[in-house]
Amino acid sequence: MFRLTGVQPVIFSAVPIETLLLIFTGLILKPMQLSDFLNINTWGDSVRKVLFGMLPRRAQIEKVRTEINSGLLKKYGRMTRLEVDKESKTINADLDLKGEKEGIRITLSNYRLIQEGKNPVLEFGVIGASREWLDVLLKTLVKTSVIPERMEVKNLLHQTVIKALL
């Protein structure tokens, strides 16, 4: 007998293969959570890496947008759209931030992904925003290194995500 958490006991010999596929697909293809980006050394995380790589590009971008909304932006608003243009090396994000009457567009242009040593390094390029106050704030935070101009990507799942999208 094989027992799964939250699932009734299943005896493999008595269950049609379609049922088994539904059970396992539901467990493996569950929505990824922020915790999926932590502790990459487990078998389950390796499976998530492979499954993320198998998603169509648009689904990968939507997954990243959802993760940003449920983590980084949760207190501040939400990202309504995320566009990544590999050819022009541009990332656009449309945000609905709390307290703002209109949406805001954040643009990251001329980004680069460089393989330096063991881990890739992401150079962010030029950041801009459609609101003057936010544009000035972001550029000041980059200038004062609060927001780094480059970031080494050490987490293996993050590497998979970044290489797939950028």
Domain boundaries, the chain: 31-165
pLDDT tens-place string over residues 57-95:
888 888 889 888 998 899 999 999 999 999 999 999 999
Q: Which amino acid is at 67?
A: E
Q: Rounded to an integer, what distance in angstroms lies between the CA atom of residue 57 and that of residue 55?
A: 6
CA distances from 129 to 55, 121, 139 (A): 30, 24, 9
Rounded CA-CA distance 94/81 in Å is 5
**CA angle in degrees (0–180, nearest 5) for 145-39-7:** 135
Q: What percent of the chain has pLDDT over 90?
A: 33
What is the Cα–Cα distance from 63 to 99, expressed in whole angstroms? 26
